[in-house]
Structure 1
Amino acid sequence: MKTLYVRIVLTFMLVALVSGIIAFLFSNLYYHVKLKEYNEEKIKEMANEIVYLYENSDGMKIQDFLTSVANMNFQLYLVDQHMVGHQFGDRFRQYELDKSIIQSVLDGRTYHGISTFKSNLFVTGFFKDDLKNSIGVPIKVDGVTEALFVRPNVEKQFGEMRIVFSLILGLTFFISMLLIVVSATFLVRPIKRLTKATRKVASGNYDFTLDSHRSDEIGALAKDFERMAKSLKKLDEMRQEFVSNVSHEIQSPLTSIQGFSKAIRSKVVSEEEAERYLEIIEKETSRLSSLSKQLLMLSSLDKEVKAVNKETFRLDEQIREVVLLTEWEWSKKSLRIELDLPELVIEADKQLLFQIWINLLTNSIKFTGNHGSIYVNAAVDEDIIVTVRDTGIGIAEEELQQIFDRFYMGDKSRNRTKSGSGLGLSVVKKIIELHEGTISVQSEIGKGTEFTVRLPR
């Protein structure tokens, strides 16, 4: 399989080759359309000038005159009335020429051989020194008309320039190929680094550096890859922390259950102590049951196994139902519950939304001291807005960004995690996101916390 480096080099070389061929074809076309007739006209003027100079000379012999002209880098061919030709200057490569053409020149007509000369490549036809590729003009020699065929000796006039142009073309091609090889190396280098970084990420190593300061597409790709790696690293850390927290949350109640059950079976505790131990065991099993339910719900929501089954229902009635279900808990602490719930109809998953209100309300009850207050308000603008506010112990500002993380317990020194699992708010946020809503929180230590939920109407 070809590497990207080889592909880039071959692509550049192919582009250079195709560009050269297209440029050559366009040059040929331009020569054929624009320059060929112009070139022929110039040579015809030279031929006519040669004839004029001879015919107005003072009895100079034709051989001497044409030899002198040929020395000025011309190829000349003189044909008499008997179809006998004489060469002056360098020889033509081919002398094949129809006798009717020679006769037409002897009859006083001009032969336009350059414009009618056929060549596979037009521009290269200019350099072919065939007799056909010349200008034929009549010339009076001792009172008799003869045919003079003229063409510049391109080899002598432009021979050195052809070498120079060939050298320029060859060097240009060679240097272009060399620069392509070098530039391809620089182009592929950041991609090779990205490939190495990808292998590191695949093996779980997130420590690498990329050239993300570039302002081109590769720089943008490097930045996005670094962001992705940081997200994967955070996700991996969260996964490890999640496993650790789950193990801790399960191990702790199991240890308590095991210890208290052994104490009861030993018969060394009093009935009152045994009753208290059984109550603790019951609470711990209830906690384990709640933890497993929340874990299953999170897993289901994460995998989107649980579809959002939308139905139309009264949201205000659902919230009142949650308040009634938790009455025993808030009345035990003598909390004041104030509701401001206008009639609200929403289309959503009724079961999932119930989990939002039960989690938010039980959290407020749990962290609000005796004789405190909880306010539940609802309003409608573009969205449906539900606010749950308490006068509890509050949350520190540095913790607000973490409370929706799984198993985050807050500052235990303020006893904000009396019996929770740290999953409730994670479940709440996930359900709200599935409904394309948002949740925000404001809090101040000692003054309380306010959760605001926005759901599409």
Structure 2
Amino acid sequence: MMRSLYVRVALTFLLTVMLSLVLPFLVGSRINRDALLDRVHDDMVDFANSTIYIVGKLQPPDMNEALQKMATVKHYGLWLYGSGGDAQVFNAADGMAEIDDAAVKQVLGGAVYDSLQEGREVTLNELIVGFPQEVNGSRYALFVVAHPRRDMGNNAQRDLIKVLLTVLVPGGLLILLAARYIVKPLQKLTEATKRISRGDFRVRVDIDRKDEIGLLAKTFNHMAGELQQMETMRQDFVSNVSHEIQTPLTSIHGFAIELQQPGMPEEERLKYLRIMERESARLSRLGRNLLKLASLESDQYPLHPRELELDEQLRRVVVACEPLWAGKDLLMDLDELERTKIVADEDALGQVWINLLHNSIKFTPAGGDIRVELDSTKPGWVEVRISDSGIGIAPQDRERVFERFFKADRSRSSGKGPADGTGYAAVGSAEDEWTAGGAAQLSGSGLGLAITKRIVELHGGQIRLDSELGSGTTVTVTLPVIRPQA
């Protein structure tokens, strides 16, 4: 039971309230006791002086009656000791402090006695003052003794108990409600966390508060959303990998069966073998791309930055891709690339330009154009823009083109684009094939842009894609001139 946060919070509040009442009361009682002790002591001294004056100067007819009345009015006890040590007591009460013989002798000897001057802790009930007095030539010792005040302590304790009950009963109920207000959202969060641990990433907590607990709930909901998205991506990844692997395997298996048929013409047999070779190469590329992407997404991917001429690298990549864009009769415009030097990993960055150019070539119809631009006007940064007049990308697909295996239109994988010209798919892998007939047979696996984006991020840059359906696509890569240190 004590392990419950609700009980702990409630007990903490209750103990805090009790201590906040008891401690001030004890401190205040101590201060008030000292002040009261001084006031009573001063009053007893004044009373003793008044008594000495009345007895010594006014000489009342009945001195004993006068002393009795004075002691009663002031609620003090009076002890009058003669020279022989005998005493007359007026207004005595049980529990009064006793006067020892040494004090009597001290006062009869002409000195004043004060219990506060003895150097010890004195309570209110132990206050005694003594003064010498002469009556008709005889010396007496007059002592004033404080009456017992036990009721004061008892009353204070009763008052404290009343205050505590008055505060703790309604206050305790309010504290229990307040503790529930604090703890209940945490209980919701705990239950939601258990559901997430069981794999239910759809759970959300409905806590509409503006304090730290509300912020915690908002952060929790955001985390749950991210986990749900990651789980969806994981499932899609497994599904896509299975699909990408199953398709070539099915093709290879089917053609392997066909090759076992007797009497197959040599030309058809070679055709089947070439198809099986292509499908095997496709599987190999898929495996390499998966390994490359996994390596890029790890924190230990080795980049080897060095100074390179970016404009020259772009020219080399365009020239290397000439069989692809020339075979489709595309116009390649390199603009006038300004000489630009940056510090980057040449091989990794070359993969970026190859991937982007292959995608532009793949989805630009025959007779279209591709433009490569280089802008180094921003201090410390350089921009490379690759634009094409291709079929474009639908608005709902633009944000997802950098996801692994994402293909908005499966017809893209054939390299021909949508039959009706109205659809566009996300860019796939840059591992394309070029046949002897000059037609681009691009069998993308949907990993190309994911790899591209990761390489750009590892260089401290950004990649942006702008496109309209039927109006082409522009990909902008922004890179620092000097790669930042990891």
TM-score in terms of structure 2 length: 0.79
> Are 1:258 and 2:256 counterparts?
no
The 8 Å contact of residues 403 and 409 in structure 1, kept in 2 or not, is answered as yes
> Partner amino acid for 1:435?
H
Counterpart position of 2:451? 427
Give the deviation of 1:173 after TM superposition: 5.3
2:465 to 441, 445, 449: 441
Counterpart position of 1:346? 342
SS of the residue corresponding to residue 400 of structure 1 reads: helix
> Are 1:111 and 2:106 counterparts?
no
Counterpart position of 2:369? 373
**Cα pair distance change 1:425/1:34, threshold 3 Å:** farther
The 8 Å contact of residues 361 and 388 in structure 1, kept in 2 or not, is answered as yes
> Partner amino acid for 1:27?
G
Counterpart position of 1:398? 396
CA distance in 2 between counterparts of 1:337 and 1:223 reads: 51
CA distance in 1 between counterparts of 2:104 and 2:211 reads: 66
2:279 to 273, 284, 289: 284
CA distance in 1 between counterparts of 2:165 and 2:159 reads: 10
Query: Which moved further from structure 2: 6-15 or 380-389?
Result: 6-15
Query: Which moved further from structure 2: 232-241 or 157-166?
Result: 157-166
Counterpart position of 1:186? 181
Q: How does 1:232-251 map to 2 (within 5 A)?
A: 232-251=227-246
Counterpart position of 2:432? none
Q: How does 1:302-341 map to 2 (within 5 A)?
A: 302-339=297-334, 340-341=336-337
Partner deviation per Cα, 1:176-216 (whole Å, 9 max, x = no partner): 56655553343222222211111110100124342431111
CA distance in 2 between counterparts of 1:48 and 1:313 reads: 110
CA distance in 1 between counterparts of 2:302 and 2:47 reads: 93
CA distance in 1 between counterparts of 2:114 and 2:210 reads: 64
CA distance in 1 between counterparts of 2:346 and 2:276 reads: 33
Give the deviation of 1:19 after TM superposition: 4.8
CA distance in 2 between counterparts of 1:160 and 1:6 reads: 33
The 8 Å contact of residues 110 and 138 in structure 1, kept in 2 or not, is answered as no
The 8 Å contact of residues 107 and 132 in structure 2, kept in 1 or not, is answered as no
SS of the residue corresponding to residue 400 of structure 2 reads: coil
CA distance in 1 between counterparts of 2:73 and 2:408 reads: 102
The 8 Å contact of residues 442 and 451 in structure 1, kept in 2 or not, is answered as yes
SS of the residue corresponding to residue 228 of structure 1 reads: helix
Query: Which moved further from structure 2: 301-310 or 91-100?
Result: 91-100
TM-score in terms of structure 1 length: 0.84
Q: How does 1:49-68 map to 2 (within 5 A)?
A: 59=60, 61-68=62-69
CA distance in 1 between counterparts of 2:381 and 2:210 reads: 40
The 8 Å contact of residues 43 and 152 in structure 1, kept in 2 or not, is answered as no
Structure 1 gaps, min length 5: 120-124
The 8 Å contact of residues 370 and 386 in structure 2, kept in 1 or not, is answered as yes
Partner deviation per Cα, 1:324-383 (whole Å, 9 max, x = no partner): 222211111122222243222222333322222111111111111112111122222142
Partner deviation per Cα, 1:290-324 (whole Å, 9 max, x = no partner): 21111111212223242333333222232222222
**Cα pair distance change 1:360/1:165, threshold 3 Å:** same
Partner deviation per Cα, 1:240-265 (whole Å, 9 max, x = no partner): 11101110111011111222232233
CA distance in 2 between counterparts of 1:139 and 1:156 reads: 33
**Cα pair distance change 1:74/1:313, threshold 3 Å:** farther
- Aligned-pair Cα RMSD in Å: 3.5
1:221 to 196, 206, 216: 216
CA distance in 2 between counterparts of 1:433 and 1:217 reads: 34
**Cα pair distance change 1:6/1:389, threshold 3 Å:** same
Identical-residue share of aligned pairs (%)? 34
The 8 Å contact of residues 105 and 136 in structure 1, kept in 2 or not, is answered as no
CA distance in 2 between counterparts of 1:65 and 1:207 reads: 95
Give the deviation of 1:42 after TM superposition: 5.0
> Partner amino acid for 2:110?
D
Give the deviation of 1:232 after TM superposition: 0.5
Give the deviation of 1:392 after TM superposition: 0.7
SS of the residue corresponding to residue 347 of structure 2 reads: helix
The 8 Å contact of residues 54 and 60 in structure 1, kept in 2 or not, is answered as no
Structure 2 gaps, min length 5: 411-417, 429-441, 482-486
> Are 1:99 and 2:102 counterparts?
yes
